[in-house]
Every structure is written in C-alpha cells, then in structure tokens.
A = this chain, B = another copy of it.
Amino acid sequence: MLYIIGLGLCEETDITVKGLEAIKSCEKVYLEAYTSILMVPKENLEKFYGKELIIADREMVESQSDEILLNANSLNIAFLVVGDPFGATTHTDLMIRARELNIPVTVIHNASIMNAIGACGLQLYNFGQTISIPFFTDTWKPDSFYDRIKENRDLGLHTLCLLDIKVKEQSKKIYEPPRYMTINKAIQQLLEIEETRNQKVYTAESLAIGIARLGSSTDQQIKVGTLNQLLSQDFGSPLHSLVIVGSRVHILEIDFMRFFAIDKQSYNEIVKKDYDI
C-alpha cells in the first residue's frame, strides 16, 4: 500500500491520528521536500514518528517514482506531503502513475493553505481562483497571474497568492540555497507588473492581507493594510502568503479583518472609501 499523507501546516503534531498510525505501519517513509516546508527540522519529525525519513527531492520523485511505487506492491510505503496531498501537481502525477501500475493508494488528508487561509477573516466562498507568484529574474518576469487577478477582481472576489519556493534548485550543476518569497517581495513584483500592464487591476492603495507561518500555535502573523502599508512590515521567517481583498465583502469579513489591521484608523477610512458597507 502507498500512503500519501498530508502533514498539515506547521508542527509535527499537525499530522492526523490516522496519518500517524499509517506511518507507524510503514517500512519506508519518504518526505517530499520541494513544494513546501514544515516549520520543524527533519530530526524532530523522525523522533515523533519513530521512523527514519528519506528526503524526496524533485529529482528523485521524477526519476525514481516507479521504484518508490513498485515497492508499495509488497510493502507499506508512506509519502509525506506538507499541507494536503492534493496541493501540488507533482503528487497528482504520482497518484496517476500508481493507478496505472495498479498499486493500491490511500490518501490521508490534512489542512493546507487552500482552506486554512480562512483564518485571515475572509470567507472561503468569496475567493476566486488561486494564483502563484514566481520569483522574477532580470530577464524572466512571467505575469500571467495579473490576468487571473483581474478576472477575480472584476467579479469582486478575493485572490489568494501563493508565493514562490525554491528548494534545491540546480543552476549550472550547483545547488542554490533554498529561497522563500517574502510578502514584501511579492508586493514589489505585483506593483511592478501593475506599472507595466497599467490596467488598474489593483494599486498600492488596495486592501490586502499578509499571512506568515499560518497555523503555527506560537508564531502565526496576520496583518491587514494597503499593499503599500504591508510593503514596509517585517513578517519574519517563512512561509508567507498574501491575499488581495475583493470588493464583494460581507460585514463579518470587515469586522474580522479589523482585528488584524496595522492601523485601525486608516483601515476604517479605506473601508468607508472603497467598500459599500
């Protein structure tokens, strides 16, 4: 049996009881470590699970997936994924391959940014499509997310922006250190693209929410303000996410966001000016 197990958002205890029981039944346990990270080191997980973890990087999963899978024909194998197993395309790929090989697969779900983002005070059914903001380089600035944000904002919907993670990226055969995009960098890039595309999809004065270390029991940070206000805030260590608030807001959402406002007075002014509430 291949178990694909979501680890949740932050700490080792975020795993479900069902997930932990499954790990304990497994001969080999892989930890997927390139689409997201937990906030605890591998050693803590190993101690908590009572199992040794094999780090599965993108290279290994893409080149050795059949090896991982075929083992699961006779043994219990676990593949651990931060968040929920269906958060990233790579895991979907692994599941399709397993089905093609007739390997039995059990998925154990968990929280991920896609539902836990409700913690920012906005209702999940008022979100449009989720977008990803990739790290720009001097010569490569893909901006298709701009069109997606426009589609959401034309409907008044909120946009969850997932920020880029680069773990063990190879550049000329040299591995670069991991990089996690900050909220500040994401906002810089968003404003840069708005300046280029100039369709007034959003401005530096648009209301947004910065979320850092979502789900951490000790260290979660949520701040509400204009993109400009958030730009100068320090959100600390990763992971960071950003939400651009749509115009179709419920009074409960306005009230909830107020708790997280960087500056309550300016928040009230923005709400009065931009929102029909």
CB–CB B252/A89 < 8 A = yes
- B13, B84, B126, B129: the one contacting A111 at CB < 8 Å is B84
Binds B, one of A27-35, A72-80, A93-101, A235-243: A93-101
User: A116 to B176, alpha carbons, bound, how many Å?
Assistant: 33
CB–CB B130/A125 < 8 A = yes
How distant is A132 from chain B, measured CB to nearest CB, in Å? 7
CB–CB A6/B86 < 8 A = no
- B92, B125, B155, B259: the one contacting A252 at CB < 8 Å is B92
User: A179 to B172, alpha carbons, bound, how many Å?
Assistant: 61
**A contact residues, range:** 35 or more
Binds B, one of A15-23, A61-69, A264-272: A15-23
Q: Does A103 contact B (CB under 8 A)?
A: no
User: A115 to B127, alpha carbons, bound, how many Å?
Assistant: 13
Q: A126 with B124: in contact, given A111-B110, A111-B111 (CB under 8 Å)?
A: no
Chain B residues with Cβ under 8 A from A157's Cβ? 128-129
What are 17 A-B pairs with beta-carbon distances under 8 A? A13-B17, A14-B16, A14-B17, A14-B109, A16-B17, A16-B111, A18-B217, A84-B115, A86-B116, A87-B124, A92-B121, A106-B217, A109-B215, A114-B114, A114-B115, A128-B157, A129-B155
